[in-house]
Amino acid sequence: MGGGNAMPNAVLKGLKKYDLDITSVTSMVDSGGSSGQLRKDFNVLPPGDIRRHLLALSEAPEWKKELFKFRFGREEFGDGHGGHSFGNAFIAGLEYVLKDYEEVLKIVHEFLEVKGRCLPATTEKTNLAAILENGQEIFGEDEIDVPKAHDPNLKIKKIFLKPEAKAYRPVLDAIENADLIVIGPGDLYSSLIPCVLPRGIKESLEKSNAKKILIVPAMTKIGETNGFSVLDFANEMERYIGSPLDFVIYNNFVPEKERVEKYKKEELNVHEIVGINKDLDEKKFIGLDLLVKSGEIVYDPDKLADVIIKNLTGQSG
């Protein structure tokens, strides 16, 4: 479970290599960039996040993947993004023409030869909203993700869907029948928690006998998780899912300062390495070196898959 780039790249790409029945669930609240513009122009669901899931689990020939990622056009959307990817236009166009999102999912799964299923948390049109610690309400995933009109130093007290939306029924079935539920990594308030906000998902998570795992991101996010520790991430996720996590996986390797500073210049919205609390319960909290060897401060999908498979499911990696 998770929207954005982090979870598909860090988890799905690694787990795809194993003999597993994978269902991925993405939030459907993206309101910036290409997805936001397509929503405004054609009144469709945001295609960007589910496109990333589909690509991560795709076993199609490379030309299909490259075509889906191909970005054309130079239109600027006012937030530093320009042009639509073919995949976004294809998914949005199918929905606009067919008016049947289940049929859209069927077609794109077949085209990309997806191993498993990629599902939207909801198929109802909704947006993300938040209440800040000063009582101010902010509206839209893009504003929460990259603060432009509010003080990013103010903490988020509550996040919710506006209007409320019910969960996509196959997601509830998948949760209730799962052996393992992996949430994250990704931006806590704009990518992860939105996956569990549609009506019915919290209740299904509470009923599910699956092991529930949170993968804490390597770095905190400006405007969302400034100053957060591993325990802060775990506590906040448990507050929204309404049940305890069985495991919390986090990165315990601290890269060189120069590497961190370079990454912060490239990714302007990351803040700092997530703090590690003292005396964490080692039966629940699993800290490992999870980063790629060099460059970006991102997780290695093979390392993550290995810890999920070997330590948490009993299978051999």
- Give the predicted TM-score (pTM) of the model: 0.94
69 and 196 part of one domain = no
Does 190 share its domain with 286?
yes
Element (H, E) at 145: helix 141-145
**What pLDDT is stored for residue 4 in this prediction?**
83
Residues 309 and 281 in one domain: yes
Tell me the pLDDT tens digit for each residue of 11-65.
Answer: 999 999 999 999 999 999 999 888 999 999 999 999 999 999 999 999 999 999 9
Query: Does residue 315 carry a pLDDT above 60?
Result: no
- Looking at the structure, do residues 224 and 266 belong to the same domain, yes or no? yes
User: Could you tell me if residue 151 is inside a domain?
Assistant: no
Residue 99 and residue 191 in one domain: no
133 lies in some domain: no
**Percentage of residues in the chain with pLDDT exceeding 90?**
89
> Tokens representing 170?
């196959």
User: Which residue range is the domain that position 113 belongs to?
Assistant: 29-120
Overall domain count for the chain: 2
Task: Match 């905190």 to its residue by tokens.
Answer: 220
CA–CA dist 202, 53 (Å, integer): 22
Residues 300 and 271 in one domain: yes
pLDDT in tens, 259-294: 999 999 999 899 999 999 999 999 999 999 999 999
Tell me, yes or no, whether 3 and 99 share the same domain.
no
Query: Is residue 46, in this structure, part of any structural domain at all?
Result: yes
Who's near 199: CB < 8 A, 6+ residues apart?
164, 165, 166, 167
Instruction: Report if residue 182 sits inside a domain.
Output: yes
Q: Say whether both 48 and 22 belong to one domain.
A: no
Q: Print burial letters for 214-233: b (CB count within 10 Å at least 16), e (below 16).
A: bbbbbbbbbbbbeebbbbbb
Helix (H, G, I), strand (E, B) or coil at 131: strand
Q: Are residues 293 and 171 in the same domain?
A: yes
pLDDT level of residue 74 (50, 70, 90 thresholds):
low
185-232 pLDDT per residue, tens: 999 999 999 999 999 999 999 999 999 999 999 999 999 999 999 999
Mean pLDDT taken over the chain: 94
Mark whether 72 and 22 lie in a shared domain: no
Please tell me the predicted confidence (pLDDT) of residue 268: 84
